[in-house]
Amino acid sequence: MPLSRPTAREHIHTRNVTCQGFRREDGLWDIEGHITDTKSYGFANHDRGEIPPGVPVHEMWIRVTVGDDLVIRAVEAATDYAPFNGCDAIAPAYEKLVGLKLGPGIRKQIRDRVGGIQGCTHLTELMGPVATTAFQTIFPIRSREAEEKRRAQSQEGQPSQDSVVAPKNQKMPLINTCHGWRSDGEAVKRIAPNFYTGNEDIDGTREP
């Protein structure tokens, strides 16, 4: 369902953020982020001169390589457009993110390493959607492959570790990260019942 009809207005600014996830031949994963800011009007810039309408004020790229464990193995950043000369010089600083694990608390860890004058505001912001894109890229594929392996071993009469329900103390990083993944919600009850914390009896009836 789209948003309601807006009041009369003038278009001023557009920010586009695109993230893509790729599976590499070597078994690792590349997550690439791209951000642009454009104006609907032209304006003068001290370092670049006149910036026409639609020409990016900001355009930055970042590629993060991770393993199945979501630990960052490599980072490459680049700046094509920026409002100041020298903005592109900070791109190599993002190699400091190597070794971090995408997951809870990652935004603070990123800010600690490339926040403020240690990095670029827009590249640092871009790491947020890059991290969530990594989850969206890796988990569905790994879950599908685990299920395919479980079915194949079941047909062959072999025991499969993938079919064993995960222990209660094993972490699932998506639980309680949003309303849909709340531990007492229907999604967790269906997808990860061992982690369900809703108030429900074994026979499926709600306790008063």
**Tell me: the pLDDT tens digits for 79-88?**
999 999 999 9
50 and 102, same domain (yes or no): yes
Q: What angle do CA 147, 149, 155 make, to 5 degrees?
A: 105
> Can you give the residue range of the structural domain that contains 75?
13-139
User: What's the pTM value of the predicted model, to 2 decimals?
Assistant: 0.80
The mean per-residue pLDDT over the stretch 143-151 comes to 84
134 and 171, same domain (yes or no): no
Domain annotation covers residue 7: no
Closest CA to 101 of 149, 135, 145: 135
96 and 197, same domain (yes or no): no
71 and 121, same domain (yes or no): yes
pLDDT value of residue 166 = 44
Taking 50 as the threshold, does the pLDDT of residue 141 lie above it? yes
> In which band, very low, low, confident or very high, does the pLDDT at 158 lie, cut at 50, 70 and 90?
low
37 and 134, same domain (yes or no): yes
Taking 50 as the threshold, does the pLDDT of residue 126 lie above it? yes
pLDDT value of residue 164 = 37
Number of structural domains (the chain) is 2
97 and 17, same domain (yes or no): yes
The dihedral sign for the CA sequence 189, 193, 199, 201: positive
The mean per-residue pLDDT over the stretch 127-139 comes to 95
Report the CATH number that the domain containing residue 71 is assigned in CATH.
Answer: 3.30.390
- Average pLDDT score over the chain: 89
Domain annotation covers residue 72: yes
Domain annotation covers residue 4: no
**Tell me: the pLDDT tens digits for 91-112?**
999 999 999 999 889 999 999 9
116 and 77, same domain (yes or no): yes
22 and 92, same domain (yes or no): yes
127 and 76, same domain (yes or no): yes
**Tell me: the pLDDT tens digits for 42-71?**
999 999 999 999 999 999 999 999 999 999
Contacts of 150 (CB under 8 A, 6+ apart): 160, 162, 163
pLDDT value of residue 200 = 65
